[in-house]
Amino acid sequence: MKNNILLEVKRVKEIMGLYEQRIKTIVTSEEWDVPVPVPRIKGTYRPGDSDPSAFIGEALVTILQAIQEVPGAREKLKTGELQLKHITVEAGASNVWDTKDGATNYDVDNDYKPTTEGQNPNLNKDGYEKNVKLAKNRASRFIDEISPLLAGENINISQELSKAPAGVVVDTGGKLDGDRIRSEYPNPGQVLYTTLGFVYTDKEEFVESECLPEVKIIIGTRGKQDGHICDEAVFKVSVNGTQIGIANLNNAGADLAPNDGGRAFGMGNLAGGKAQLNGFKNIPGRKSKKRYSENDFGGWREWETMINTTNPELNWGESNKLTITPLVQSGTERGGKTSSYDGWEVCNEYRGFGPKRGGKIKCGSHTEVPYVKIENTPEIQGKFVRVYGKYPNVKLGYGDMSTVTLLTLNECGVPVEVKAT
């Protein structure tokens, strides 16, 4: 009689979607990297000096405002769980050392863009080398001065803080900042760029039970926060060789072209007219209901789908391959310096358009998925719990359309480490 009652209780739980709790409690700790880009800081130094005291207070305000703009960093700052692990500072100096010697060589133009024009043999080389040393000293001292100020703002400074000071010489017309011709050289040489790398640790606790046939996967990018501004990030996603969907993470001009007529693409009216507009509109996965888009340039994009582990076509078992295949087409006739979908170019190094203009990054899919989240249902059917949330950083060379393994999942959809053989 007792056994019959227990069986009936179990049957009712199953009908109502209630499942037994997990056998044991698992606590996981994930350390999350949080890069915080900081707007350019204009320094105010006496000539030949590296003391930042005249502007260090304003610099601190600028950095704290930058932290407030980054989700994750903002919340952890309030709780005192934000730790500074990396700090990179590039400081500048004007391209003059001694006025009687004239202008020195320089590394960047007055818009702070790298240039080779400053390596002119007619310019003063000795003064240039002294300026580089001065600029690097400014960067080093700024790091030393700003670190304790950040510690006073509820930020934990890592005992293994990685410091990366660097110096550059800025073209100011061979004049000190106070003497430069502002109509020709509007920007000062006394300037700092800084990037701060923070981490915080999240702890999650969940109870282990039987694996239910529901696994949710999210592939996405935080856009500018991940350094991802690209129209060449469309991937076929497969499990054990069977396609489960298309993740379209495009977030640049071609992705926005059907909405803005091509303005963000940098072409005004698209060269191919409505046909090209339709081509961009129909880029694989763009119109999928499983796709989330902020609909802005360099914004967030996500693709979410469910894996039904009972589907016999997936051959789901104890070890399962989650793979991605790039769908962007690389232009082989020009040495891979173009890329397109169905013949419509989204990047062209020769014509200088697309998000990779300037030739710094080659055209072609750069098989890298910024982040992946996986959730399963450990206790109640339909109630999802995250079991994975990381940046796998799967990479291939530009234009490589090979299929690569993103993750290997166990029977519960939890990624497992696979040792190379």
Check the CA dihedral 70-73-79-83 and report its sign: negative
Residues 191-214, mean pLDDT to the nearest whole number: 66
Checking if the pLDDT of 12 tops 50, the result is: no
pLDDT at 21: 29
- Cα–Cα distance, 18 to 8 (Å, whole number): 13
Which of 19-28, 52-61, 360-369 shows the lowest per-residue confidence on average (mean pLDDT)?
A: 19-28
Give the tokens for residue 299.
């914004």
pLDDT confidence bin for 238, thresholds 50/70/90: very high
Checking if the pLDDT of 352 tops 70, the result is: no
Residues 230-249, mean pLDDT to the nearest whole number: 93
Checking if the pLDDT of 323 tops 80, the result is: yes
**CB-CB neighbours of 380 under 10 Å:** 16
pLDDT digits (tens, 9 = 90+) for 124-183: 999 999 999 999 999 899 999 999 999 999 888 888 788 888 899 999 999 988 899 999
Strand partners, 90: 166, 193
More confident residue, 157 or 242: 242
Give the tokens for residue 190.
């006394």
- Cα–Cα distance, 204 to 31 (Å, whole number): 12
pLDDT at 357: 47
3-state helix, strand, coil split of the chain in percent (to 5) is 20, 30, 45
DSSP 14-61: HHTTB-PPPSSEEEEEEEEEEEEE---EE----TT----TTTHHHHHH
The values of phi and psi at residue 403, to 5°, are: -85, 130
- Cα–Cα distance, 24 to 207 (Å, whole number): 6
Residues 70-74, mean pLDDT to the nearest whole number: 81
Checking if the pLDDT of 414 tops 50, the result is: yes
Checking if the pLDDT of 7 tops 70, the result is: no
pLDDT at 48: 83
Which of 153-162, 241-250, 290-299 shows the lowest per-residue confidence on average (mean pLDDT)?
A: 153-162
- Cα–Cα distance, 328 to 230 (Å, whole number): 11
Checking if the pLDDT of 377 tops 90, the result is: no
pLDDT confidence bin for 269, thresholds 50/70/90: low
pLDDT at 61: 92
More confident residue, 207 or 145: 145
Inter-residue contact 54 to 414 (CB < 8 Å): no
Share of the chain above pLDDT 90, in %: 26
- Cα–Cα distance, 221 to 250 (Å, whole number): 9
Checking if the pLDDT of 393 tops 90, the result is: no
User: C-alpha distances in angstroms, 263 versus 252, 266, 294?
Assistant: 11, 5, 17
65 burial via Cβ count (<10 Å: 0-12, 13-18, 19+): exposed
Inter-residue contact 374 to 307 (CB < 8 Å): no
Hey, which of 67-81, 136-150, 186-200 has the most confident mean pLDDT?
A: 136-150
More confident residue, 159 or 286: 286
User: Do the strands 191-207 and 41-42 form a parallel or antiparallel pair, or are they unpaired?
Assistant: antiparallel
Angle between helices 125-151 and 56-68 (to 10 degrees): 60
pLDDT confidence bin for 380, thresholds 50/70/90: low
Checking if the pLDDT of 355 tops 90, the result is: no
- Number of H-type helices and E-type strands within the chain: 6, 17
Which of 23-37, 190-204, 300-314, 339-353 shows the lowest per-residue confidence on average (mean pLDDT)?
A: 23-37
Query: Which residue intervals of 193-331 are DSSP H helices?
Result: 253-260, 273-281
pLDDT at 128: 93
Helix (H, G, I), strand (E, B) or coil at 215: strand
Give the burial string for 215-243 (b: 16+ CB within 10 Å, else e): bbbbbbbbbebbebbbbbbbbbbbbbeee
